[in-house]
């Protein structure tokens, strides 16, 4: 590229698609053990057996979706008798839509949109599997979105009991749960048939984040567009958020920012500037998955500033009519999602006197939780 400023028709991006979130990276480092566990779980399918049910658990942006897609790619190459379906439960939040997606993948077109019962769709799926001697693995991604209305119990029950309702079918499930811990209790009748092996996805260490981001930058930008120092700053921000998406989004936005300045290189200031937007994106994404009660807690904190658990509970109880146990569970979830901080050490895990505060700006939180019921 000639000259020091970027011409209007020049770009810093060698391959822009590298920075899209659904891009499956060629090089998937630091997740060897998780990938091994996944492959180990699905391997029985290669001998015609039903695979082991699995559950991938970890905070947002820790590579769960990517790992499952990689494992499915591998299976696609080596196991012709296996059909894998990846369902996004946020986009398909009911048993009917989930089974319609499975039907679509198997048969090649969506089921007729009206007048077809769930039962009929399941019959067709089972018939296809038996006739073609295929084993089906369904990944239920972001299964959290099925937790409301207990839809998750129906979905799992139908999938995992298919071998009883439709003898000869072999279906297994990989659940993907975006959460620091497994705080959902399945219906007892589901709990007895869904006994998955858990695969944990911890947040990446700073060095891991940096090397992943550096790899991406190398592929996505032209040479000399971004320096190691600038990537360090992005790694710092990413590490604070715990979500690799923040870093990938920062790479993209910083690049666009530098282009807007007609600069041939990305500077640290481009990163700082991009961060403000990136942070909002991260926040809205997490908050959109929360329950009304959890949002209410955030809204209360945003209005009050730091407060004791007891004080927040009084307002929460008035608004939502829910008891302390539910409140406590929700608080823990908000801590695990890194939305709030609480001083466990000084006041004890469960104490009403522990202080809670938001990890984000009150205004940002308020605009992301709107509209909050009852306020
Ligand atoms: N080890 C890795 N190497 C390269 N890229 C990675 C790695 N882990 C994650 N990524 C990238 O980070 C982004 C987020 O990863 P992914 O979507 O797999 O996270 P997730 O754990 O499914 O998050 P969520 O719980 O929010 O759905 C993706 O763009 C993915 O390509
Ligand atoms: Mg995911």
Give the pLDDT confidence of 325-368 residue by residue, as tens digits: 999 989 888 887 778 988 755 545 567 888 999 988 999 999 89
Domain tally for the chain?
3
* 25 lies in some domain: no
Q: Is residue 276 part of a domain?
A: no
pTM to 2 decimals? 0.81
Same domain, 148 and 190: yes
Cα→Cα distances 76→72, 115, 135, 179, Å: 6, 33, 12, 28
Ligand 1 proximity of 62 Cβ (cutoff 6 Å): yes
Q: What angle do CA 308, 312, 314 make, to 5 degrees?
A: 120
Q: Assign 182 a pLDDT band (cuts: 50, 70, 90).
A: low
Residue after which a domain boundary falls, among 217, 239, 271:
271
Considering the chain, what is the average pLDDT of its residues?
90
Lowest mean pLDDT among 103-117, 175-189, 191-205, 230-244: 175-189
Is the beta carbon of 66 within 6 A of some atom in ligand 1?
A: yes
Domain of residue 174: give its range: 32-200
The pLDDT of residue 60 is 87
Measured from the CA of 208, which atom of ligand 1 is nearest? 1
Based on the fold, state whether residues 212 and 128 are members of the same structural domain: no
Nearest residue to 204 (alpha-carbon basis) of 326, 58, 74 = 58
Same domain, 43 and 99: yes
Domain contains 225: yes
pLDDT at 192: 85
Q: Domain check: are 303 and 221 in the same one? A: no
Mean pLDDT of 68-92: 93
Q: Which atom of ligand 1 is nearest to the CA of 69?
A: 18
Domain boundary among 271, 306, 322: 271
Sign of CA dihedral 256, 259, 265, 271: negative
Q: pLDDT of 118-173, one tens digit each?
A: 999 999 999 999 999 999 999 999 998 887 667 899 999 999 999 999 999 999 99
User: Which residue's C-alpha comes closest to atom 28 of ligand 1?
Assistant: 21
Report the candidate in 186, 282, 291 with the shortest Cα–Cα distance to residue 243. Answer: 282
Q: For position 254, which CATH number holds?
A: 1.10.8.60
- CATH code of residue 331: 1.10.10.10
Assess if residue 168 is contained within a domain.
yes
pLDDT in tens, 5-21: 898 889 999 999 999 98
């Amino acid at each position: 590229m000639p000259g020091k400023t970027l011409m209007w028709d020049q770009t810093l991006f060698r391959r822009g698609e590298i920075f899209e979130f659904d891009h499956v990276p060629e090089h998937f480092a630091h997740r060897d053990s998780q990938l091994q566990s996944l492959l180990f779980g699905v391997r029985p399918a290669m001998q015609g057996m039903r695979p082991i049910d699995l559950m991938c658990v970890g905070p947002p942006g820790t590579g769960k979706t990517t790992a499952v897609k990689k494992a499915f790619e591998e299976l696609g190459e080596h196991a012709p008798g296996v059909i894998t379906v990846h369902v996004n439960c946020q986009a398909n939040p009911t048993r009917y839509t989930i089974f319609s997606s499975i039907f679509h993948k198997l048969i090649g077109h969506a089921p007729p949109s009206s007048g077809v019962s769930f039962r009929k769709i399941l019959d067709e799926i089972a018939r296809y599997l038996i006739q073609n001697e295929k084993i089906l693995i369904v990944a239920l991604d972001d299964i959290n979105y099925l937790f409301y209305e207990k839809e998750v119990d129906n979905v799992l029950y139908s999938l995992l009991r298919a071998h009883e309702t439709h003898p000869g079918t072999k279906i297994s499930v990989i659940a993907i749960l975006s959460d620091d811990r497994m705080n959902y209790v399945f219906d007892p009748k589901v709990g007895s048939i869904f006994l998955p092996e858990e695969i944990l996805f911890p947040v990446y260490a700073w060095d891991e984040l940096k090397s992943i981001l550096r790899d991406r930058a190398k592929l996505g930008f032209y040479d000399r567009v971004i320096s190691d120092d600038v990537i360090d700053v992005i790694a710092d921000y990413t590490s604070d958020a715990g979500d690799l998406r923040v870093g990938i989004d920062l790479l993209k936005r910083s690049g666009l920012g530098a282009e807007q300045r007609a600069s041939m290189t990305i500077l640290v200031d481009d990163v700082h500037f991009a961060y403000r937007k990136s942070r909002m994106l991260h926040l809205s994404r997490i908050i959109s998955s929360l329950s009304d009660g959890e949002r209410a807690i955030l809204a209360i904190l945003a209005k009050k500033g730091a407060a004791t658990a007891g004080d927040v509970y009084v307002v929460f109880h008035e608004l939502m009519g829910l008891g302390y146990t539910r409140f406590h569970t929700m608080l823990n979830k908000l801590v695990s999602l890194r939305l709030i901080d609480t001083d466990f050490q000084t006041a004890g895990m469960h104490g009403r006197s522990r202080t809670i505060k938001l990890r984000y700006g009150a205004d940002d939180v308020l605009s992301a939780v709107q509209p909050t019921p009852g306020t």
